[in-house]
């Protein structure tokens, strides 16, 4: 039976339909609010209570700590699937058959070249440039080199744009790193899998062979899967809203990368390691930093803690914590900041400030420790997040276009000056 919600303004009642998702999430559909009420709108800074779309890609229940891509639990996907399979699942809605996966893989490999002129653009950046700025710029630059990927309408054109970016983005990531590290730019090897190939592009020494390391490949596969989508977060909403103007896939992704870069979002993985290093350099006194995080007069926040949606454990953080122990063990790496991180977590989980506010470790708390053990420098951490999030952004952009969503254009409540006469410059 359909349900309605009633709104009363100045004694006048308005009815709005209540919609329900497949996991029984409930929303009041206020599409007709403004027209029916003669201009009343809702206001919700940070969109804490606002659903921007209906989506069939990712389900998360922040109270129960549940995360599923297309109905499959993140725990099962992280254990049993590889990243390319998960990318296919997110973008096309179903797990691929062997043939579908082989075709996706080979279509991506056929597009893995990046125009040599892109190297000239990369050359123009200083060596110290942050990889996220470089990646957002180069992803945008790809538009000029792939003009047929801009105005895509048919599913075939979309598919071609998707395999192009899935192929070229790992190359750009590896190039951003190699430029920073002073290494010659390299291409991959079509005989390797998607993740192994990425590691080769990153780490192959100019003078030596690349030897695949199964522990590294498995660890990175898992991390990328855990980051692959997270429904309507800041960067994904950016991708959808930019895409809603029909700006094109690459432009939308470039905007998403800029959103991801911020320390409250994907930039947190870099900020966590910098924070843990600072605590270590300061003698490892975690209590001091706990006190700073709780002090409202101190801007310091415990990075890697808290989440807009998860008010229980972030299921990704649980998997990553176990993986961190395993990977460091398998790679024979000892990292004192892992102990500092575990100490901070233990204290926070029994501290009323964190308990009352339901602040738990999020995906970024332990991921950097694994990246570091793999030899990935801290400036690249958010780029690794972007590499993982790429299929999620792509899937969300594709869904938005296929559902023919209208251009995103929120309203506002104006709180500035009322109309006033112009003052000439000598009277100001
Ligand atoms: N350290 C100390 N206090 C915190 C923290 C933290 N990390 N996070 C939230 N709080 C406090 C906050 O001060 C507020 O306290 P009060 O109610 O007394 O004013 C309360 O908890 C609620 O915080 P909020 O800022 O209103 O919550 P939000 O949903 O707007 O923000 C968040 C979520 C993730 C931005 C925030 O928890 C945060 O800044 N965390 C640190 C940065 C971080 O780890 N970001 C990665 C997020 S997960 C991956 C991703 O999205 O990319």
176-210 pLDDT tens trace:
999 999 999 988 999 999 999 999 999 999 998 88
Token couple for 148: 């047929």
CB under 8 A, 24+ apart: contacts of 57-60: 57/90, 57/229, 57/231, 57/392, 57/395, 57/396, 57/399, 58/90, 58/229, 58/230, 58/231, 58/392, 59/23, 59/231, 60/230, 60/231, 60/309, 60/310
Contact 191, 212 (CB under 8 A): no
The DSSP H or E segment spanning 181 is helix 155-181
Q: Cα(73)–Cα(295) distance, rounded to whole angstroms?
A: 37
List C-alpha distances in Å: 387 to 5, 15, 30: 42, 44, 36
Ligand 1, atom 17: nearest CA belongs to which residue?
A: 357
Cα-only R_g, the chain? 23
Contact 168, 198 (CB under 8 A): no
User: Is the CB of 365 inside a 6 Å radius of any atom of ligand 1?
Assistant: no
- List the strands of the sheet with 58-61, edge to edge: 58-61, 66-69, 72-73
**Structure confidence at residue 99 as a pLDDT band (50, 70, 90):** very high
- pTM over the 0.85 mark: yes
Q: Which residue out of 229, 231, 292, 306 has the highest number of ligand 1 atoms within 8 Å of its CB and is therefore the one to mutate?
A: 306
User: Is the CB of 355 inside a 6 Å radius of any atom of ligand 1?
Assistant: no
Q: Cα(156)–Cα(20) distance, rounded to whole angstroms?
A: 32
Distance of CA 169 to the CA centre of its chain: 14
Residue (of 396, 259, 311, 241) closest to 60 by Cα position: 311
Q: Cα(132)–Cα(234) distance, rounded to whole angstroms?
A: 16
How large is the average pLDDT for residues 391-411?
A: 97
How large is the average pLDDT for residues 18-44?
A: 96
Question: Angle, nearest 10°, between helix axes 214-227 and 381-402?
Answer: 50
| 34 pLDDT above the threshold of 90 | yes
**Structure confidence at residue 173 as a pLDDT band (50, 70, 90):** very high
pLDDT at 410: 96
Helices (H), 191-314: 194-203, 214-227, 234-243, 249-261, 268-281, 286-294
Ligand 1, atom 16: nearest CA belongs to which residue?
A: 357
- Of the candidate ranges 88-102, 339-353, 388-402, the one whose mean pLDDT is the lowest: 339-353
**Structure confidence at residue 149 as a pLDDT band (50, 70, 90):** confident
User: Is the CB of 357 inside a 6 Å radius of any atom of ligand 1?
Assistant: yes
Contact 340, 276 (CB under 8 A): yes
| 217 pLDDT above the threshold of 70 | yes
| 11 pLDDT above the threshold of 90 | yes
pLDDT at 151: 76
| 1 pLDDT above the threshold of 80 | no
Residue (of 265, 323, 391, 376) closest to 78 by Cα position: 323
For CA atoms 87, 89, 95, 98, the dihedral sign is negative
Instruction: Convert 28-45 to b/e letters by CB count within 10 Å (16 or more is b).
Output: bebeebeeeeeeeeeeee
Q: Which SS3 state, helix, strand or coil, does residue 14 take?
A: strand
| 150 pLDDT above the threshold of 80 | no
pLDDT at 274: 92
pLDDT at 146: 87
In terms of pLDDT, which residue wins out, 8 or 284?
8
pLDDT in tens, 320-369: 988 888 888 888 988 888 889 888 999 999 999 999 999 999 988 989 88
Atom of ligand 1 minimally distant from the CA of 307: 34
User: Is the CB of 280 inside a 6 Å radius of any atom of ligand 1?
Assistant: no
């Amino acid at each position: 039976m359909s349900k309605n919600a009633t709104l009363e303004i100045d004694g006048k009642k308005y009815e709005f339909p209540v919609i329900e998702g497949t996991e029984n999430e409930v929303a009041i559909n206020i599409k007709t609010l403004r027209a029916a009420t003669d201009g009343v709108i809702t206001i919700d800074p940070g969109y804490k209570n606002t659903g921007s779309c209906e989506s069939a890609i990712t389900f998360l229940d922040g109270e129960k700590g549940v995360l599923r891509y297309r109905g499959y639990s993140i725990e099962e996907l992280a254990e049993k699937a590889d990243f390319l399979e998960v990318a296919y699942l997110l973008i096309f809605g179903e797990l691929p058959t062997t043939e579908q996966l082989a075709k996706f893989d080979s279509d991506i490999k056929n597009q893995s070249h990046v125009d040599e002129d892109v190297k000239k653009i990369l050359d123009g950046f200083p060596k110290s440039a942050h990889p996220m700025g470089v990646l957002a710029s180069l992803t945008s630059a790809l538009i000029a080199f792939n003009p047929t990927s801009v105005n895509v309408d048919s599913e075939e054109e979309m598919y071609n744009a998707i395999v192009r970016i899935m192929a070229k983005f790992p190359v750009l990531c590896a190039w951003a790193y190699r430029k920073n590290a002073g290494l010659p730019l390299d291409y991959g090897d079509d005989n390797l899998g998607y993740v192994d190939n990425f590691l080769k592009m990153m780490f192959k020494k100019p003078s030596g062979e690349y030897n695949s390391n199964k522990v590294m490949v498995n660890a990175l596969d898992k991390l990328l899967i855990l980051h692959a989508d997270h429904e309507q977060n800041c960067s994904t909403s950016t991708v959808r809203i930019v895409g809603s103007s029909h700006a094109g896939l690459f432009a939308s992704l470039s905007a998403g990368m800029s959103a991801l870069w911020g320390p409250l979002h994907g930039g947190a993985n870099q900020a966590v390691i910098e924070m843990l290093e600072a605590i270590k350099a300061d003698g490892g006194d975690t209590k001091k930093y706990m006190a700073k995080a709780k002090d409202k007069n101190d801007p310091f926040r415990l990075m890697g803690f808290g989440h807009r949606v998860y008010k229980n454990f972030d299921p990704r953080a649980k998997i990553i914590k176990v993986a961190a122990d395993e990977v460091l063990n398998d790679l024979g790496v000892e990292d004192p900041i892992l102990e500092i991180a575990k100490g901070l977590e233990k204290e926070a989980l029994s501290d009323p400030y964190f308990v009352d506010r339901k602040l738990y470790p999020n995906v970024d708390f332990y991921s950097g420790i694994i990246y570091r053990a793999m030899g990935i420098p801290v400036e690249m951490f958010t780029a690794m997040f972007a590499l993982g999030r790429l299929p999620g952004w792509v899937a969300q952009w594709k869904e938005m276009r296929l559902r023919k969503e209208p251009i995103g254009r929120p309203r506002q409540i104006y709180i500035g000056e009322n109309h006033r006469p112009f003052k000439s410059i000598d009277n100001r």
